[in-house]
Structure 1
């Protein structure tokens, strides 16, 4: 709060040179808020800014009296949040402020210096602008800290929203389907049904073991598109027979589905492609490592050489990597498992570890390298791509629910601190 007053005072000194009486008027205290104040200058500056924005956007504002009430209340809440931040020891560093301002400049497609010049050209002191940014960051951070702890999102809420999101998404999905029908006579006997089901299962076996679906369809399908290789083309889930729609729901590209029984016989479907579906895939790695931490006795060079020697011994068949990890690795989570880290998104690792894995082929060993944890050697065991669509749905649903609850709780929290505060409007403002 002291910094805010200093910045405002510096700005007012500039105004004093132009008009001493106006400066005195603007410099007076308008509202007392606990041990802090809102100055008349702050109210007038915000009102002028809002009026300028309204003109630029072609909007109409209420009367000055009504606008002043809204502006004053906002500034009171801002002071209260700054006071709360001081109480819990929350501080925004100069680096955070500079990073935010640089981001603002980048979003506007200008340099930082151009932004500074634009602020000055608009009649605002740049240091005051930086202080406003600091206060805004502080208010956001203190709200996040105090409100987040009041929010609980239940698994049931997430599941319900995920179901709704999936249902909405399905309305936009289209499937490119292949279809094979193993037909039945109009009044099939038990033997007819059994034989047809066996033929349908044989079709599925052929397709799953690499036979071309369209070739199999031409040779064995009784369906209307048999000569086209069973190609039904693109269909929305609402356009296809309900029997097919139920079967393809939540299935993936390339899946072979069936046999599905209907009055006409046994159906086999293949999903050639899907469009309109939001899918998320993540690359994962399975690796194992040995970690050695340098000490007063064990220098960096000794740790590095020790690990490189381990790798040479393993490559020569003289030592077993898993046994070395169990005996020497100082990573308690993986040492007992022979150094294995299990399947993981490489982004979860520190940059040096992630970058080293990126350079390895499955089965290869790295040379010794250093991270914040110590010295490592790592072997990449496998890579794979996982479908993370379900996790993405759950994360999205959680964020949506959390954000809704956060906004509700933030309003409640602001009302609480406002009700508990001492606020006195000074004079006839």
Structure 2
């Protein structure tokens, strides 16, 4: 891809540049359309803003800025791909929920020193009215594109059971999912820009090559706007480390550090000191559960459903047979045929209200009626056990590692195909 050399540049735009671009500082009454992408247009002001951001970041990295025409061609190609993805977002009707969007905007707000969305909005709009909404729209677009990529790219990644088995039999697989690791963990967070946080994290990564003194590194790299937290995590199972971090640690050798890992709470770097075999089993509690469900419908109001489930509960309390009543009245056909039995259920398999009631139930006792999104339930836990899920955990971990390996390559391939298949008409600039 021609824009590969700018790929990393666009992954972590500095906060100041994101905000400035949201102000549409380059827009003017005589703005020119320079490209048509599907049903959307790229304006000259979009290109000028993208070039300004790129120049600023390249200069900040003390690198030579390419000639204007080369930079324009590369930025235009980035904008075309961006718009092509947004066209796909519309095609597949992908939407960002308010909670995720608010969390993403709040993260940017915190980086700028604002503790709430309200304070952030006031801060931005005091500089230029409408800046907050423009920034929010830009972040929303980024979230939608992330979801599109997950949806489209993950569907292209094919990992067979044989692939998983082969990986688990390999030395790397044995170490990744069946071992213990001794890890040093550094996290960089704070109110500084994303660019500054990544720069500091990169410096820490380099320092870790010659030092294991996490407290000294904490002190050296922490500033008023950058918080560095270091910890010797000791020797622990990979299953005890968050998946996003464990997957990165599993593919490096002792003495090596991971690449920078950017997640919600900051930028992480880990150094692997030692790897050991692990005999620890992944034991998961399970509950042998049966239930009766009464759904609401056009003819059964929520009040009627509650009355029916109360009646069934009272009959069971008076000696009625749970299995017989489930087979007769339950609106869950899959379990009703088997006397309401759901078999062995692990935490997290059911909706939260059901899950909480199940885990708090006394074995053999029928629960009070409770409501979920599906209707009104009563349940009974007839037995509990600790199930060895080690094999299932190992396979899940293996799939994650194999999938992460393939994702970037599949993403590049998908983007090239998308660029080729998207209608693009370029006006007034040499095509990239």
TM-score by length of 1: 0.62
Please, which of 137, 149, 159 is the counterpart of residue 155 of structure 2? 149
Aligned to 2:428: 426
Q: What's the Cα RMSD here? A: 3.7
Contact 1:173 1:277 in 2 (8 A): no
Aligned to 1:30: 34
What do residues 258-300 of structure 1 show as CA deviations (whole Å, max 9, x unaligned)?
A: xxxxxxxxxxxxxxxx985665332221111122234666654
Q: CA deviation at 1:321?
A: 1.5
Please, which of 74, 80, 84 is the counterpart of residue 80 of structure 1? 84
Q: CA deviation at 1:166?
A: 4.4
Residue 357 of structure 2 is aligned to residue 348 of structure 1: no
Aligned residue for 1:346, secondary structure, equals coil
Q: CA deviation at 1:343?
A: 0.6
Please, which of 44, 62, 66 is the counterpart of residue 63 of structure 1? 66
Aligned to 2:146: 140
What do residues 217-249 of structure 1 show as CA deviations (whole Å, max 9, x unaligned)?
A: xxxxxxxxxxxxxxxxxxxxxxxxxxxxxxxxx
- In structure 2, the CA distance between the partners of 1:392 and 1:122, relative to structure 1 (3 Å rule), is farther
Aligned residue for 2:288, secondary structure, equals strand
Moved more, 161-170 or 119-128: 119-128
Q: CA deviation at 1:415?
A: 1.3
What do residues 326-384 of structure 1 show as CA deviations (whole Å, max 9, x unaligned)?
A: 22222111112111111112322222212222332111111222222222211111222
More contact order relative to length (CA 8 Å, sep ≥ 6): 2
Residue 419 of structure 2 is aligned to residue 414 of structure 1: no
Contact 2:283 2:386 in 1 (8 A): yes
Aligned to 2:225: none
Aligned residue for 1:385, secondary structure, equals strand
- In structure 2, the CA distance between the partners of 1:54 and 1:376, relative to structure 1 (3 Å rule), is same
Please, which of 33, 46, 51 is the counterpart of residue 47 of structure 1? 51
Aligned residue for 1:286, secondary structure, equals strand
Moved more, 277-286 or 415-424: 277-286
Structure with the greater alpha carbon radius of gyration: 1
What do residues 289-328 of structure 1 show as CA deviations (whole Å, max 9, x unaligned)?
A: 1222346666545543444444444344x32222222222
Aligned to 1:261: none
In the aligned structure 1, how far is the partner of 2:294 from the partner of 2:40?
54
In the aligned structure 1, how far is the partner of 2:180 from the partner of 2:99?
45
Moved more, 396-405 or 85-94: 85-94
What do residues 42-90 of structure 1 show as CA deviations (whole Å, max 9, x unaligned)?
A: 223233334444565x452532434333222111111111223333444
Aligned to 1:369: 370
- How many aligned residue pairs are there? 314
Contact 1:284 1:344 in 2 (8 A): yes
Aligned residue for 2:348, secondary structure, equals helix
Aligned to 2:132: 126
Alignment of 1:85-124 (within 5 A): 85-92=89-96, 96-105=100-109, 110-116=115-121
What stretches of structure 1 of length at least 5 have no aligned partner? 1-6, 17-22, 175-273
